[in-house]
Amino acid sequence: MRLEMMLDDLDRSIGVLTTAPSAEITLGDADRNRAMIEAASRQRQAVVAALSRLDAGTYGRCVDCGVAVPEGRLEARPEAARCIGCQSRRERRR
């Protein structure tokens, strides 16, 4: 399944990023590395949550309003938890 492959890829990426030799990394590189680890970790959390929704039988339904998440959105972002409307509202509140 695609979500499981994404999880494997993210685990590998996080592993590589966290084992980079620190003696050879500049301060700017360390900041970028840390940002990449944080982004990959957030993505990993989203994928794990999507797999949990799949197991629970709620995958493909918006976690906020319960409507079906459009198929195209799930194809582009299989880990998507919200329909476009709810995701847009969530981003505007931030």
Q: Give the C-alpha separation, 52 to 79, whole Å.
A: 11
pLDDT of 1 reads 78
pLDDT of 20 reads 65
The DSSP letter of residue 33 is H
| pLDDT tens digits, one per residue of 23-54 | 667 777 888 989 999 999 999 999 999 999 99
Q: Where are the domains of the chain?
A: 1-59, 60-94
| pLDDT tens digits, one per residue of 48-83 | 999 999 999 999 999 999 999 999 999 999 999 999
